[in-house]
Amino acid sequence: MRHATQAAAFNASGQALRCDHVKRSCAMSNDTTSARGPSPALRLLEPYIQTRDPAAAIAHPGLANGLVWAVRLVAGQEPAPLDADDIADCLEGRPQQHPGWAWLHFDTVHSAARSQIATLSCLPRDVGQMLAETDYAALLEAEGDLVWGALPAFDDQAIEDDRAICAWRFAMTPDLLITTRRNPIPALGAAYRSLRPGALPDGPAGVVDRALREFTDSVRRQISQLDDELDRAEDALLLIESRADLGHLSGIVGKVRRRATELRRVMTPIDRVLRDEDLDMPDWAEEELRNRAERQVHAALDDLIALQDRGRSLQDELASSQAEETNRRLYIVSVATTLMLPATVVTGFFGMNTGGMFLSGGRYGTVEAGVVCFVFIVVTWVFLKFARLL
């Protein structure tokens, strides 16, 4: 009776929520975008969207609350969608009845999904709560055979330079990987599309490594683009003839330094958690996450530091050139003011409205006064040259 009541309740609301949420998640996300036919995620979700047994959906609420895909991976075979019983076994921590390992990916946009994930019985409570969080913080922890953490990624903006930093979270054991994200994560989609019979990772740590490698590759592509922009700015600085055109170069260098700083603030915490000597990783995850991923992240961080140093040096050179241009202009103004000072004194003297003014009665008084001003300017210029002030 109780089971029938739950099924009726699901028919009224849960099924609509499941279908609407799944379709919306697939439409808004490019986690699994592919140019070849329907989205792989949508194909894998068809058994869940078309589930006609409400009781089965209630037995594993993950189907209704944010599940994007659920696949089983066996070496040498195509990824296969999990059925309802397999998902229930995974979420409830029961031993799996099939070979290989499973990957469940959740969307945590809705509060119902976060509430469901935070209380998964297959994970400790603090790990489940970590999976349901939405803020960004680099994290990697391990206890026994359980490894969990949060790693950065770029969102799905079309222009790579405009992509914002977001985060995705994971928890894994040797035979289960659970990932969550609030924003569409192309890196996870790339890791998913790479799952082919001849290229399946040995375990869940391989997927995490692939997603992290995709992120670091994207970072290094951006570093290369930023480095090219610095090359153009440096060439313009060396070839430019008019120092008055330095303003736009400062804008280019400032943009490069700003983006490099953003990327370094993301990469530094990852490098720190991967190099943490107190982190005791299980053997099955050590090679993927502590050795290979650490080398990739550290190499990208070294490139970022080199880019920042180069940008800082170019900024200093630009500042020096701009200061030189400013000094040159001030020098011209100072010389002109100095040369005109004697003439100003002369014109001020002749401009006095007093009786008996010199040259006031002659026919060519104005011309003679101009000659006097010019003579004073020449004398001042000769003095400045003699004193080596010019």
pLDDT mean for each 10 residues of the chain (390 residues): 36 38 40 40 39 38 69 86 85 80 89 86 90 84 90 76 82 92 86 82 88 89 91 83 67 88 90 85 82 85 92 87 83 84 77 68 75 83 78
Radius of gyration of the chain (CA): 35
Residue 179 phi/psi, 5° resolution? Answer: -120, 150
CB atoms within 10 A of CB 13: 10
Identify the bridge partners of residue 197 per DSSP, sorted by sequence position: none
**Amino acid residing at 156:** D
CB 174 within 8 A of CB 199: no
CB atoms within 10 A of CB 253: 24
pLDDT of the residue at 53: 38
Q: Is the dihedral of CA 123, 129, 135, 138 positive or negative?
A: negative
How confident is the prediction for the chain on average, in pLDDT? Answer: 76
The pLDDT tens digits for 183-224 are 888 888 888 888 887 778 888 988 998 888 889 988 999 999
The pLDDT tens digits for 274-286 are 888 788 888 888 8
Interacting residues of 25 by C-beta distance below 8 A, sequence separation 6+: 66, 68, 107, 109
Helix (H) or strand (E) holding 43: helix 40-49
State whether residue 233 is helix, strand or coil.
Answer: helix
**Residue 86 CB-half CA count within 13 A:** 21
pLDDT of the residue at 242: 59
pLDDT of the residue at 45: 41
pLDDT of the residue at 172: 92
Sheet (strand 80-81) strand order: 80-81, 67-73, 101-107, 176-181, 165-173, 146-154, 139-143
The pLDDT tens digits for 302-324 are 999 999 999 999 888 888 887 88
Task: Give the pTM.
Answer: 0.69
Cβ-count burial 296-332 (b if 16+ within 10 Å, e if not): bbbebbebbeebbebbeebbebbeebbeeeeeeeeee
The string of DSSP codes covering 251-314 is HHHHHHHHHHHHHHHHHHHHHHHHT-TT----HHHIIIIIIIHHHHHHHHHHHHHHHHHHHHHH
Cβ-count burial 136-149 (b if 16+ within 10 Å, e if not): bebbbbbeeebbbb
14 DSSP 8-state letter: I
Q: Which CATH number fits domain 2-200: 3.30.460.20, 1.20.1050.10, 3.40.50.720, 2.60.40.10?
A: 3.30.460.20
For the domain spanning 216-326, the CATH number is: 1.20.58
Structure tokens at 361: 């009665």
CB atoms within 10 A of CB 265: 12
**Domain ranges within the chain, ordered by starting residue:** 2-200, 216-326
Polymer length of the chain: 390
